[in-house]
Amino acid sequence: METIRVSPSSLSIFEDCPRCFWLQMVEKIRRPRGVFPSLPGGMDALIKNYFDQYRAQGTLPPELEGVVEGGLFADQAVLDGWRNWRKGLTCDIPGLNAQLSGAVDDCLVTVSGKYIPLDYKTHGYGPKEGHGEKYYQSQLNCYALLLEKNKRPVESFAYLVYYVPREMKGNGDIHFSIEVQKIQTNVAEAENLVRQAVNSLSQAIPQRASECVYCDWFEQQIEKRVA
């Protein structure tokens, strides 16, 4: 039997709508997707390069000094592999014919040798309280699980670093504010989520989430074909 491969992004679909997840994994029917804007990807590359410059110096970016625990993970070659969305970090789930994979942005390492996932986010506005937990909890849980399963002991938290545009100068330079959120992580919750998602695939197609706009779209297309 072919190994079932899931990722933080596909698991987020399962949490949003189990029916959409089932259709994607079983029937290979993916949610419709518009043109992906290039700006977030460009910002992500710039931020990674920015962090890598400080990594080479063995220091943190100045805006993170005294704000986060630990220092940047020093092995650039290993991190480059973890960042690769085609490879990334992978782990098997015991007793389940499934593999979790994910590409991390960065990692911190404490003096005691524990790892802390660090994820960059570019936002048009400052995050409200609870924003990180609401939208990125499972993603960070999965990163912690991936590190743990790859023999990188983790702390019980991760960091989200938000870059928010605040001002444009006369020469076209855009100034960003940086906001850091510390998010508690739980590797057991991540593993449980993988098990729930994978086990759902061997069952009948689930009910749609009540407010899933993608299911609305699918049903509209079916109605048009019938008519």
Confidence of residue 37 (pLDDT cuts 50, 70, 90): low
Residues 80 and 105 sit within 8 Å (Cβ to Cβ):
no
Q: What is the pLDDT of residues 121-148, one digit of tens each?
A: 988 777 888 888 889 999 999 999 999 9
Write down the H helix ranges in the chain.
8-16, 18-26, 38-57, 76-83, 131-149, 187-200, 213-226
pTM of the model: 0.91
pLDDT for the residue numbered 53: 97
Q: What is the pLDDT of residues 79-122, one digit of tens each?
A: 999 999 888 899 999 899 999 999 999 999 999 999 999 999 98
Question: CA-CA distance, 103 to 87, in Å (whole number)?
Answer: 8
Q: What is the CATH number of domain 4-226?
A: 3.90.320
Residue 225 has pLDDT above 70, yes or no: no
Mean predicted confidence (pLDDT) in 189-215: 93
Whether pLDDT at 35 is above 60 = no
pLDDT at residue 76, as a whole number = 97
pLDDT exceeds cutoff 90 at 189: yes
Query: In angstroms, rounded to a whole number, what is the distance separating the alpha carbons of residues 141 and 115?
Result: 13
First to last CA, the chain: 39
Arithmetic mean of pLDDT, 59-69: 95
Q: What is the pLDDT of residue 122?
A: 86
What are the start-end ranges of the E strands in 169-217?
Answer: 174-184
Asked whether residue 221 carries a pLDDT value surpassing 70, the answer given is no
